[in-house]
Amino acid sequence: MKRFSLSLVNILSIYALAVPSTAAMIPQRSVLENGMILLTSEQRALPMVSIELLIDAGSRHDVPKQEGLANLTARLLTYGTQRRTALEISDALDFIGARLSSGCGEDLANVGMTVLKKDLGTGLELLAEVLTTSTFPQGEIERQKQSILAAIRAREESPGDIAQRRLAAALYPQSPYGRPVEGDEASVKGLEQKSLKAFYERYYRPNRTILSVVGDVSHQEIAQALNQAFRSWPKGEPVTPPAPPSKVGSAETIRVAKDLTQANIILGHEGVGREHPDYYAIQVMNYILGGGGFSSRTLDSIRNERGLAYSVYSYFGAEKRRGTFELVMQTKNETALEAIRIANAEIRRIREELVAEQELEDAKDYLTGSFPLRFDTNRKVANFLAQVEYFELGLDYPERYPDLIREVQREDVLRVAQKYLKPEQLITVLVGNQKKIGEK
């Protein structure tokens, strides 16, 4: 077992000249007997343990006509195992005040647990049960399907969600990434127990799982307990990964009519994957454009100067093998086109002119200075460690991060703006009262 360790204290004292704190992340990594990758950070301040699992079982594995299978599988994990009924599981969890949740995204399914240290044994037992012996009872499948069908209805109440879905569909046509994780009404109704069991058998495997544990427990202690709890979970066969989305949509305007007081607007196009070497320069550029909270250009010109919106921001979401750029805002229907015009002008400006030295410094100062503060709870550390492993950033990533940001220059910002902001591919989604929004 290789031992990795690092301390946040180092980063702080190098880059922020902080008084060393007693806290440190000190992550450790090992590969368990069954192939599961374990990351830990021992944090003894509170008698609690946070656990985060990432499983390569997201909706990208859904096949046509079975959209929603990955999601339904993830949601049913805690609704019946070989030993316990759904009610017995929830009662056992509630009795110890533990939190256990499961969910699903396009790439990954995730399971999270928070439990008191004194109940860690019970918690791990339940966790191992749902991951290795879920039974997907017919009655629970029907219940959960109804619940998902209701969620599919409810998502129409959220104009922001509608806009997101329409953008994804336009960006990734004919791809699982362009479809809602939960599927649609017809596909969900058609999902069957045997498909769920097959999906679970195939994708819920230790060698497809990253497990991160943060809290009042040592690496040795938890590794031993996990080897015991998960001893009957065999490795799975290799699975051919689905092809990443290839066809990318071209520029268009999508309008959705809704009787709303505000237009919900997204301007978006494809971005880059997390592994891309320009990722860091893009983050700096985007901070200046629209990522920088109260100090970004779009917020300044759209909110502060003109009072057109309460919320306006942009981001480059970077996943494995793909990414998206989005600029998101809401403004009353009547000013929607004006706000879009200004947003486009800001995109143009950052592609044409070097940013000011001061803007660049502010962006770099924020990104490096706020970095250690992103891990101020056990749960956040657990999420972070799992992500570091998933994106193969290396456990020295927190030490390397400040340099990756610091080396970005004004010319880099201009270059990545020109390369990765693509006005000619920009998809504009407008959800709102179309009559009031107007035509041009």
Residue list 11-70, contact with other proteins (CB under 8 A): 12, 16-19, 21-23, 43-48, 50
Q: Report the site for other proteins in 350-369 (rule: CB under 8 A).
A: 361-362, 365-366, 368-369
CB of 332 to other proteins, least distance (A): 6
CA dist list (Å): 440 to 22, 161, 253, 335? 58, 24, 11, 11
Contact pick of 370, 424, 439, 440 for other proteins (by CB under 8 A)? 370
State which residue, 6 or 86, has the beta carbon closest to other proteins: 86
- The answer to whether 153 contacts other proteins (rule: CB under 8 A) is yes
State which residue, 78 or 187, has the beta carbon closest to other proteins: 78
State which residue, 58 or 372, has the beta carbon closest to other proteins: 372
- The answer to whether 332 contacts other proteins (rule: CB under 8 A) is yes
Q: Report the site for other proteins in 101-130 (rule: CB under 8 A).
A: 114-116
- The answer to whether 174 contacts other proteins (rule: CB under 8 A) is no
- Establish how many alpha carbons lie within 13 A of residue 309's alpha carbon, considering only the half-sphere containing its beta carbon: 27
Q: What is the DSSP string of 188-255?
A: HHT--HHHHHHHHHHH--GGGEEEEEEESS-HHHHHHHHHHHTTT-PPPPP-PPPPPP-----SEEEE
State which residue, 371 or 390, has the beta carbon closest to other proteins: 371
- The answer to whether 308 contacts other proteins (rule: CB under 8 A) is yes
Cβ(199)–Cβ(184) below 8 Å: no
State which residue, 24 or 248, has the beta carbon closest to other proteins: 24
Residues 6+ apart with CB under 8 A from 41: 25, 26, 27, 28, 213, 214, 381, 382, 385
Q: Length of the chain, please?
A: 440
CB of 14 to other proteins, least distance (A): 13
State which residue, 153 or 247, has the beta carbon closest to other proteins: 153
Degrees, nearest 5: CA angle 75-79-83: 140
Q: Report the site for other proteins in 70-89 (rule: CB under 8 A).
A: 86-87
Q: Which stretch binds other proteins (CB under 8 A): 31-39, 164-172, 374-382, 411-419?
A: 374-382
Give the x/- contact pattern for other proteins in 241-280, rule: CB under 8 A: ----------------xxxxxx------------------
Number of residues that bind other proteins (CB under 8 A): 83
- The answer to whether 295 contacts other proteins (rule: CB under 8 A) is yes
Distance CA 142, CA 315 (A): 38
Dihedral Cα 215, 218, 223, 226, nearest 10 deg: -40
State which residue, 31 or 254, has the beta carbon closest to other proteins: 254
State which residue, 147 or 418, has the beta carbon closest to other proteins: 147
Cβ(285)–Cβ(341) below 8 Å: no
CB of 114 to other proteins, least distance (A): 6
- The answer to whether 183 contacts other proteins (rule: CB under 8 A) is no
φ and ψ of 268, to 5 deg: -155, 160
Contact pick of 81, 331, 383, 428 for other proteins (by CB under 8 A)? 331
Distance CA 408, CA 278 (A): 10
CB of 243 to other proteins, least distance (A): 35
State which residue, 41 or 324, has the beta carbon closest to other proteins: 41
- The answer to whether 225 contacts other proteins (rule: CB under 8 A) is no
Plot region of 333 (φ>0 → left; ψ -120 to 50 → alpha; else → beta): alpha
- The answer to whether 154 contacts other proteins (rule: CB under 8 A) is yes
Q: Which stretch binds other proteins (CB under 8 A): 126-134, 156-164, 234-242, 348-356?
A: 156-164
Residues 6+ apart with CB under 8 A from 157: none
Q: How large is the angle between the packed helices 120-132 and 86-95, nearest 10 degrees?
A: 160
CB of 439 to other proteins, least distance (A): 13
Distance CA 121, CA 229 (A): 9
CB of 292 to other proteins, least distance (A): 7
Residues 6+ apart with CB under 8 A from 358: none
- The answer to whether 434 contacts other proteins (rule: CB under 8 A) is yes
φ and ψ of 119, to 5 deg: -105, 15
CB of 413 to other proteins, least distance (A): 17
Distance CA 281, CA 419 (A): 11
- Across 124-142, b (16+ Cβ under 10 Å) vs e yields bebbbbbbbebbbbeebbe
Q: Report the site for other proteins in 395-424 (rule: CB under 8 A).
A: none
- The answer to whether 150 contacts other proteins (rule: CB under 8 A) is yes
